[in-house]
Structure 1
Amino acid sequence: MLPLLLASSSVYRRDLLSRLRLPFTCSSPDINESHRPDESATDLVKRLSLEKAQALAASHPKHLIIGSDQVAVLGGKIIGKPHTFDNAHQQLLNASGASVSFLTGLTLLNSQTGHYQTDCIPFTVHMRCLTPEQIERYLLAEQPYDCAGSFKAEGLGVSLFQRTEGDDATSLVGLPLIRLVDMLTAEGIAIP
């Protein structure tokens, strides 16, 4: 088995990948993550997941490199990580009673052969109608300022949801494990 490399510094993705009980290392790729003019959100996350994996291929030959990228889309517009309380409060006010689509790009690159598999896995969160007070209590409790959509689905953020829709809940956290297992299997990795 070729060694696995997660092209990410995200603790969330690292925790998810550890669920598969495969040995892996992590390295953070240095790429430009700018959105290109007229690029759809789906094309953006697929491109960035591939570029993240490719950025580490030369320094990690003979590896299976996992790249992933995610955006949240509300009202047809990409919303990023809020970084501050005020931005997160506004994002959650805007999402109140609405649906937020999370698109996660996933790439598995075999740096020995150059072969790669790329996909985009969607997941939708239908939000409850939230009061400003509920939002403030949530943000003070969990401080999800490094999370697209301004919540942590694996934590208290689930209390903000009315329902969810999608094939793989792990894609909401940023690494779609169900699709990744398919990709690893195609590379000859037996799981479990």
Structure 2
Amino acid sequence: MTIWLGKEPLVLASQSKARQMLLTNAGIAFESDPADIDERAIQVSSGLSAPGEIAKLLAREKAKSVSMRHPTQLVIGADQTLALGTRIFNKPTGRAQAADQLRVLAGHRHELHAAVAVVRDGKLLFEQVSIARMSMRPLRDADIENYLNAAGPAVTSSVGAYQLEGLGVHLFEQVEGDHFTILGLPLLPLCAFLRAQHLLAI
């Protein structure tokens, strides 16, 4: 069941299954066309250090890149950064880096900054950043190894080496923030924008 009123579907500039699931469950018609940009190069060249600003920049650049392939359609870009104090984390490149990240995060509270940007014909129409604060419980090396064994390759698919909606829930003792921010798409402000554009039936 869709509540989408647009003549054309949205375009999601992401291959994230979590983001696709959120839009599907919200009844928003979309098609997926992942952006192909060098995120790390863009981040470094920007000179930005604030995690929320980095997330906004990357969400914008993803949406703008894909927008060129979909004239007239609304394109959604999204990005998420993880910050522990002043240190910013990226997706781990393998199991060893995932283990290193979990050792650093264990016993501490970190922040997830999730950004969404909406672009049409290369022009930015809307952007928003939401924050979730995640308190990871202390972990022994054996806990980390057991988690990595159980989670498998999925640990490299998200920043921080965990998916809270899956086995990653066992790593935490407290979570502050909405479910959508944690999954990497600030859905409530996005829906408010789409509603203001008369694109949703509800």
TM-score (normalizing by structure 1):
0.92
Q: 1-side partners of 2:18 and 2:93: how far apart?
A: 16
Q: CA RMSD in A?
A: 1.6
Q: 2-side partners of 1:157 and 1:126: how far apart?
A: 12
Residue 39 of structure 1 and its aligned partner are, at CA, apart by 3.5
Q: 2-side partners of 1:159 and 1:179: how far apart?
A: 29
Please tell me whether the aligned partners of residues 65 and 109 of structure 1 are also in contact (alpha carbons under 8 angstroms).
Answer: yes
Q: 1-side partners of 2:106 and 2:142: how far apart?
A: 12
Residue 72 of structure 1 and its aligned partner are, at CA, apart by 0.7
* 1:115–1:150 Cα change, 3 Å: closer
Q: 1-side partners of 2:27 and 2:17: how far apart?
A: 16
Residues 131-165 of structure 1: CA distance to partner in whole angstroms, max 9, x if unpaired?
Answer: 11111111111121221111111101111111111
TM-score (normalizing by structure 2):
0.87
**Residue correspondence of structure 1 range 145-164 to structure 2 within 5 A:** 145-164=156-175
Please tell me whether the aligned partners of residues 99 and 126 of structure 1 are also in contact (alpha carbons under 8 angstroms).
Answer: yes
Please tell me whether the aligned partners of residues 53 and 67 of structure 1 are also in contact (alpha carbons under 8 angstroms).
Answer: yes
* 1:96–1:184 Cα change, 3 Å: same
Please tell me whether the aligned partners of residues 101 and 125 of structure 1 are also in contact (alpha carbons under 8 angstroms).
Answer: yes
Q: What amino acid maps onto 2:118 in structure 1?
A: L
Q: Please, which runs of 5 or more residues in structure 1 have no aligned partner?
A: none
**Residue correspondence of structure 1 range 123-138 to structure 2 within 5 A:** 123-138=132-147
Residue 38 of structure 1 and its aligned partner are, at CA, apart by 4.0
% same residue: 32
Q: Higher helix proportion, which one?
A: 2
Match in the other structure for 1:24: 30
SS in 1 for 2:79: strand
SS in 1 for 2:67: coil
Residue 22 of structure 1 and its aligned partner are, at CA, apart by 1.9
Residue 48 of structure 1 and its aligned partner are, at CA, apart by 1.1
Residue 171 of structure 1 and its aligned partner are, at CA, apart by 1.3
**Residue correspondence of structure 1 range 100-179 to structure 2 within 5 A:** 100-111=110-121, 114-143=123-152, 144-166=155-177, 168-179=178-189
**Displacement over 6 Å in runs of 4+:** none
Match in the other structure for 2:14: 8
Q: What amino acid maps onto 1:101 in structure 2?
A: E
Q: 2-side partners of 1:115 and 1:42: how far apart?
A: 17
Please tell me whether the aligned partners of residues 48 and 54 of structure 2 are also in contact (alpha carbons under 8 angstroms).
Answer: no
Residue 110 of structure 1 and its aligned partner are, at CA, apart by 3.2
Q: 2-side partners of 1:38 and 1:64: how far apart?
A: 27
Match in the other structure for 1:97: 107
Q: 2-side partners of 1:184 and 1:99: how far apart?
A: 33
Please tell me whether the aligned partners of residues 82 and 89 of structure 2 are also in contact (alpha carbons under 8 angstroms).
Answer: yes
Matched, 1:82 2:88: no
Q: What amino acid maps onto 1:103 in structure 2?
A: H
